[in-house]
């Protein structure tokens, strides 16, 4: 259920993102989903990859500041208002979304959204109860 | 206390003693050292203008450069036949500064070093391992004579040969360790490699000095070694180790001010500053015969503490641990800033020693300060707002503690240039000439 996501601290300078992604690629790690949050000074690169441990090890060896957090991957019904419906469920339960980002996978042809919650277990319970389908972690890594 | 009569002397008596000693010192300096006479004449001051210790502010300052100009023996007030020892400070630039001691000077110095050891509870029953260097540097011989004066057994190891230090520390049942704080940490590290459990040893106190250190380092040393780590201060121009030492309260260093009279001044103007305000430490050696020292600017930055009498019973004033050197001081928009203060703020927030770089520049007529801080994993969050909150917290703490506003930039690890393993702390881009 819980998907391990890698976050990397980046300075907002040209070439930093490319350099990190090259290191990941050279280690033979495949990226499944990616998002970049940025401010004028720094950014946080978030990755979901096929081999979390190898990726973390590679980045740490390269001297990067890395953290691993648990997120949820949710399949979003493919119709207008699909995502809004999920957010309604969360807000009704008083659950705050720290951040989220969407990606599309070839395997399911469905849109997927990665959610980061402060209260992860409460979010899992709420989503399950509302019949919203959470994607298994292994499936996400193998997408 | 080694000498309760001197160390717990009522303050009014102490001031009287200081006044009497200052008068005699000024007369000796005026009569026997041409340099002092010329300086005082330039300022229109005669020895009889100095009646009490309060008059000390009328006297001119002397600096390390003055000392060097008198190389080698120009500062001596007695003929060489009365000198029994010569030390010299490492001259990083040019000639060293040379100090000569009469037999009396050596005795007074040994007395103050003995008081320093006794500050940590040492007595004649103790074995004192002196792991400061012996030689022209005052550290080794200073603590050695102090230990002997105390009646303790002095173990003259000098610095280095750490395995042997540890072997003898263990086999001889050493109870007091004297060395630099960084060497204490090295001893702990090597002991761990040698599988010697230092916690099984009868160590009880350490007099650590000769380099600046922090509370974080003290905590670290006290975790690794079963002793009370006490800060000791001294410099060869004044005497050597034993000018001031912390008592077991570990709240400032007692200045043995019946011999060494401390003042704090504003470095730029020379104006005397009250207790509680930080500035440059100035010493007058009230009893020195060989090289009388009047208002010597140490270039060390600290303050005299203003938190009342010390529970240990010593009545002398205490100075705070060294906060930096005037050489490191930055003046930003008229405010004195030391890299160590920035470090202090960061240590409090992060709990470990962060890498940082202070960049000072001038835009138009206004100084700007930027602090780059490397983001370690303990600081990092995957959420932007938390990193922004961290940045704002550093900004706020710097403004509160230093009274200057700095731009805080979070940077990737290992991006701050390091020279010889030590990071460069300050980059001053201002063109002030």
Domain chopping of chain A, boundaries: 3-69, 70-141
Check CB contact under 8 Å for A65 and B410: no
Question: Looking at domain A70-141, does it have CATH number 3.40.80.10?
Answer: no
Check CB contact under 8 Å for B410 and A9: yes
Residue B158 has pLDDT above 70, yes or no: yes
Write down the pLDDT at residue B214: 83
Q: What is the CATH number of domain B330-428?
A: 3.30.300.30
B378 shares contact with chain A (CB less than 8 Å):
no
Give the C-alpha separation, B391 to B394, whole Å. 5
The pLDDT tens digits for B183-235 are 898 899 899 999 999 999 999 999 999 877 888 889 989 999 999 999 999 99
Residue B422 has pLDDT above 80, yes or no: no
B409 shares contact with chain A (CB less than 8 Å):
yes
Instruction: Give me the mean pLDDT over the B57-61 stretch.
Output: 96
Residue B310 has pLDDT above 90, yes or no: yes
For A117, A118, B28, B113, B204, the CA distances from A71, given in Å and listed in that order, are 7, 10, 79, 62, 51
Question: Residue A118: its chain B contacts at CB < 8 A?
Answer: none
Q: At what angle do helices B34-42 and B11-32 cross, to 10 degrees?
A: 100
Instruction: Give me the mean pLDDT over the A79-84 stretch.
Output: 90
- Note whether B416 and B357 are within 8 A (CB): yes
Number of cross-chain residue pairs from A and B with Cβ atoms under 8 Å apart: 55
Is A3-69's fold the same as A70-141's?
yes
Give the CATH number of domain A3-69; options: 3.30.2130.10, 3.40.50.300, 3.30.565.10, 3.40.50.12160.
3.30.2130.10
Residues from A in contact with B at Cβ < 8 Å: 5, 7, 9-11, 16, 37-39, 41-42, 44, 46, 63-67, 69, 98-99, 116
The residue among B377, B381, B382 with the most chain A CBs within 10 A of its CB, best to mutate, is B382
Check CB contact under 8 Å for B412 and A10: yes
In B, minimum Cα distance to A39 occurs at: B384
pTM for this prediction: 0.68
Write down the pLDDT at residue B25: 97
B171 shares contact with chain A (CB less than 8 Å):
no
Give the C-alpha separation, B391 to B385, whole Å. 10
ipTM score assigned to the predicted complex: 0.88
More confident residue, B322 or B94: B322
Domain chopping of chain B, boundaries: 85-325, 330-428
Give the CATH number of domain B85-325; options: 3.40.50.12780, 3.40.50.620, 1.20.120.80, 3.40.50.1220.
3.40.50.12780
At residue B56, φ and ψ (nearest 5 deg) are -55, -30
């Amino acid at each position: 259920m819980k998907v391990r996501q890698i976050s990397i601290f980046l300075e907002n300078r040209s070439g930093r993102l490319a350099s990190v992604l090259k290191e990941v690629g050279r280690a033979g790690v495949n990226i499944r989903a990616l998002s970049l949050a940025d401010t004028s000074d720094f950014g946080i690169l978030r990755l979901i990859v096929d081999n979390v441990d190898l990726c973390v090890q590679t980045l740490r060896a390269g001297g990067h500041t890395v953290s691993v957090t648990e997120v949820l991957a949710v399949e979003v019904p493919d119709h207008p208002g699909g995502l809004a419906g999920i957010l309604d469920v969360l807000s009704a339960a008083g659950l705050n979304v720290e951040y989220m980002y969407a990606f599309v996978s070839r395997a399911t042809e469905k849109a997927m959204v990665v959610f980061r919650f402060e209260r992860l277990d409460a979010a899992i319970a709420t989503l399950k109860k509302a019949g919203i389908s959470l994607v298994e972690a292994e499936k996400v890594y193998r997408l | 206390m080694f000498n309760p009569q001197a160390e717990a002397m009522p303050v009014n008596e102490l001031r009287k003693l200081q006044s009497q000693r200052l008068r005699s010192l000024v007369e000796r300096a005026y009569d026997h050292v041409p340099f002092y006479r010329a300086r005082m004449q330039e300022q229109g001051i005669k020895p009889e203008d100095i009646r009490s210790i309060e008059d000390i502010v009328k006297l001119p300052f002397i600096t390390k450069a003055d000392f060097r100009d008198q190389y080698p023996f120009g500062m001596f007030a007695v003929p060489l036949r009365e000198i029994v020892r010569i030390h010299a400070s490492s001259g990083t630039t040019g000639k060293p500064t040379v100090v000569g001691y009469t037999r009396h000077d050596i005795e007074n110095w040994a007395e103050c070093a003995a008081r320093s050891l006794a500050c940590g509870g040492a007595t004649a029953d103790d074995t004192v391992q002196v792991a400061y260097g012996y030689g022209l540097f005052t550290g080794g011989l200073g603590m050695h004579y102090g230990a002997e004066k105390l009646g303790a057994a002095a173990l003259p190891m000098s610095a280095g040969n750490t395995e042997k230090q540890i072997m003898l520390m263990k086999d001889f049942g050493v109870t007091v360790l004297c060395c630099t704080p960084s060497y204490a940490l090295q001893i702990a590290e090597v002991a761990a490699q040698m599988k010697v459990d230092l916690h099984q040893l009868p160590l009880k106190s350490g007099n650590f000095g000769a380099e600046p250190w922090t509370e974080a380092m003290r905590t670290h040393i006290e975790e690794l070694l079963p002793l009370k780590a006490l800060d000791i201060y001294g410099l060869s121009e004044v005497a050597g180790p034993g000018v001031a030492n912390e008592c077991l309260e570990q709240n400032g260093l007692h200045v043995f001010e019946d011999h060494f009279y401390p003042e704090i001044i504003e470095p730029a103007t020379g104006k005397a500053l009250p207790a509680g305000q930080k500035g440059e430490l100035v010493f007058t050696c009230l009893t020195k015969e060989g090289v009388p020292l009047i208002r010597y600017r140490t270039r060390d930055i600290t303050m005299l503490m203003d938190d009342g009498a010390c529970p240990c019973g010593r009545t002398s004033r205490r100075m705070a641990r060294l906060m930096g050197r005037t050489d490191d001081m930055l003046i930003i928009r008229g405010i004195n800033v030391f890299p160590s203060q920035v470090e202090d703020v960061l240590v409090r927030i992060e709990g470990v020693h962060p890498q940082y770089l202070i960049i000072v520049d001038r835009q138009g007529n206004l100084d700007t300060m930027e602090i780059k801080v490397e983001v370690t994993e303990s600081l990092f969050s995957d959420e932007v707002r938390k990193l922004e909150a961290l940045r704002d917290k550093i900004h706020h703490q710097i403004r509160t503690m230093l009274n200057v506003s700095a731009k805080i930039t979070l940077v990737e690890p290992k991006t701050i240039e390091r020279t010889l393993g030590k990071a460069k702390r300050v980059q001053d881009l201002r063109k002030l000439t």
